Amino acid sequence: MKKFTRTLLSVGTAICLYGAAAQADTIKIGLAGPATGPVAQYGDMQKIGVLAAIEQINKAGGVNGMQLEGVIYDDACDPKQAVAVANKIVNDGIQHVVGHLCSSSTEPASDIYEEEGVLMITAASTSPTITEKGHQMIFRTIGLDSMQGPFAGQYVINSVKPKNMAIIHDKQQYGEGLATAVKKEVEAAGIKPVMFEGVTPGDKDFSALIAKLKKNNVDFVYYGGYHPELGLILRQSKEKGLNARFMGPEGVGNPDISKIAGAASEGLLVTLPQSFDKDPANQALVKAIVDKGEDPTGPFVFPAYSAVEVMTAAMTATKSTDTEKLANYIRSNTFKTTTGELAFNEKGDLAQFSFVVYDWHADGTKTPAK
């Protein structure tokens, strides 16, 4: 009987050990963003970047002898669903997250991660308020609206020099935040926008707004928001004979806007993070992504890639996956990544991040604007 108990015990221990070993073999990285819904293509960009990074790092032997594993969660860019996803990630025992994507989703989710000690790096949320709560676990590898807005504003002041400028936004955290930042910047330089108005996301008819732009002789419009609405505004402006140039943030800069607006998207100005996929140093990586049949040109692909790089570099240096140690390390060191040398400030934001203004073309491609 005694012998039997001992056998049972040792078998039990072996199983436990095996279980622990199996868990220690992989580090799970949660990937949270919209996989469905109207802005799912931005979620795809993030996914392409993160999965490519995980693949490359695993090929090079993993981190501290462990392999990485990406686990995908869909928040549909919906704040309510984002909270549910964050809770699920915590319940699933995942300690490291890349995401979320939409600022309005990232903000409520980040509170949960902070409370539960989960390390989160967003590669796409640009709203300044996310890092203004004094959270310790929250970082980002992308610029802020408070950087992008003034940058766009400066471009308007120095290169566009509009006579009658209008600023339109979609009343969302991201769009209105950017629009307000641009307004502040141009007003400081003495350009007074003749209109500053919101539209409702999901609206299809902008004819009343366009007639108003026409009446005010607007020759330049800055739009803060996403591509489905701007695409329709461009298309209807062309039909109604409004001769104005449009400019928007990275939220409008994807080929779908050309699908919606067609020829009307020619000449649209877009501020985007610089095209890291054109960087000669990243060509091997670009090829690896293209070989998988995926698109490396999206603005969030490389920031997402570098988010994983920063996370794993910290894990290697601290020889740990403890999120508190990682957060401290990330805050006090610089990282060489595919998006350049990254350093983080006390709030968890990048110390600096550069944007570029692109000229958008009707076929969905872009070239740097003069």
**Binder among 1, 21, 60, 208 for other proteins (CB under 8 A):** 208
Residue that the structure tokens 């993993």 belong to: 62
Least distance from C-beta 206 to other proteins, angstroms?
9
User: Applying CB under 8 A, does 295 fall inside the site for other proteins?
Assistant: no
Shortest Cβ 86–other proteins spacing (Å): 22
Binding of residue 74 to other proteins (CB under 8 A):
no
Alpha-carbon distances, residue 329 vs 131, 216, 324 (angstroms): 17, 53, 9
Stretch that binds other proteins, among 37-45, 63-71, 301-309, 317-325 (CB under 8 A): 37-45
Beta-strand pair 340-343/334-337: antiparallel
Report d(CA 59, CA 1) in Å as an integer.
49
Q: Which C-beta is closer to other proteins: that of 82 or that of 326?
A: 82
AA identity, residue 214: K
Interacting residue with other proteins among 108, 117, 128, 198 (CB under 8 A)? 198
Does the footprint of other proteins cover residue 243 (CB under 8 A)?
no
Report if residue 262 touches other proteins, rule: CB under 8 A.
yes
CB of 229 to other proteins, least distance (A): 10
Check if the beta carbon of residue 42 is closer than 8 Å to that of residue 254: yes
Closest separation between CB of residue 203 and other proteins, Å?
A: 8
When binding is defined by CB under 8 A, the residue of 47, 183, 235, 366 that contacts other proteins is: 235
Per-position b or e across 118-150, b if 16+ CB within 10 A of its CB: bbbbbbbbbbbebbeeebebbbbbbbbbbbbbb
Q: Which of 49, 62, 231, 296 is close enough to bind other proteins by CB under 8 A?
A: 231
What CA–CA distance (Å, rounded) separates 278 from 297?
9
CA 267 to chain centroid, in Å, comes to 24
Q: Which of 58, 64, 128, 212 binds other proteins (CB under 8 A)?
A: 212
**Burial readout 79-95 (b: 16 or more C-beta within 10 A, e: otherwise):** bebbbebbeebbeeebb
Site for other proteins in 17-36 (CB under 8 A): 36
Q: Collect all residues with Cβ–Cβ distance below 8 Å to 151 and sequence separation of at least 6.
A: 271, 355
Question: What is the rounded CA–CA span in Å between residue 129 and residue 242?
Answer: 35
The reply to whether 161 sits near other proteins by the rule CB under 8 A is no
The DSSP code sequence of 329-357 is HHHH-EEEETTEEEEB-TTSSBS---EEE
Query: Binder to other proteins among 13, 23, 207, 354 (CB under 8 A)?
Result: 207
Q: Which of 197, 219, 295, 359 binds other proteins (CB under 8 A)?
A: 197
Nearest distance from residue 227's CB to other proteins, in Å?
A: 8
Measured from the CB atom, the residue of 114 and 294 that comes closer to other proteins is: 294
The helix/strand/coil state of 132 is coil
Residue 143 touching other proteins (CB under 8 A): no
User: Using CB under 8 A as the criterion, which residues of the chain lie in contact with other proteins when the complex forms?
Assistant: 36-38, 40-41, 171, 197-200, 202-205, 207-209, 211-212, 214-215, 228, 231-232, 235, 239-241, 256, 259-260, 262
